[in-house]
Amino acid sequence: MSQSSILLTRIDNRLIHGQVGVTWVNHLGANLVVVANDKVSEDEVQQNLMDMVLPDTIQSRYFSLQKTADIIHKASPRQKIFLVVKDVHDALTLKEGGVPIDHLNIGNMHYEEGKSQISSTVSVNEKDIESFKRLGELKVKLDLRRVPNEKGQNILDLI
């Protein structure tokens, strides 16, 4: 697989929803959305609900993190992949597992107890910050932006 088969990797704890399934897919010209998440890879109900958001012309795959790392290199050049993960830790696991992620879009990380809100859609805790810094050390461009036409920010400038 050439690195260009992965058009973009996005952190969005909602995984596939309207913004991902329509706005980002159309902007990128993706024809395949790969969700890399251990829980969702085994939850057909959640997969079916997410598939309802995608246009009929867009395929989806739901893989565990390990399976994603094992098979992403076998993708056909015809597959224009939009890779979606639930959190920064999954992104780091994939990167350290050999998945060619050079650009990471941080779209949505919900607020919860113990997290600090750094933008309208992203909240982080110390463990998240450590993972983002590690990704930065691995030369991954870290771009916080909700939608394609929004001006992005390097998340390392905000944490």
Q: List, by residue number, the catalytic residues.
A: 17
Indicate if the alpha-carbon torsion angle 57, 53, 106, 65 is positive or negative.
Answer: negative
Q: Is there a contact between 114 and 128 (Cβ–Cβ < 8 Å)?
A: no
Distance CA(152)–CA(146), nearest Å, equals 8
Helix pair 126-137, 88-96: axis angle to 10 deg: 30
The one-letter code for the residue type at 39 is K
How do 81-85 and 6-12 pair as beta strands?
parallel
Residue 91 three-state SS: helix
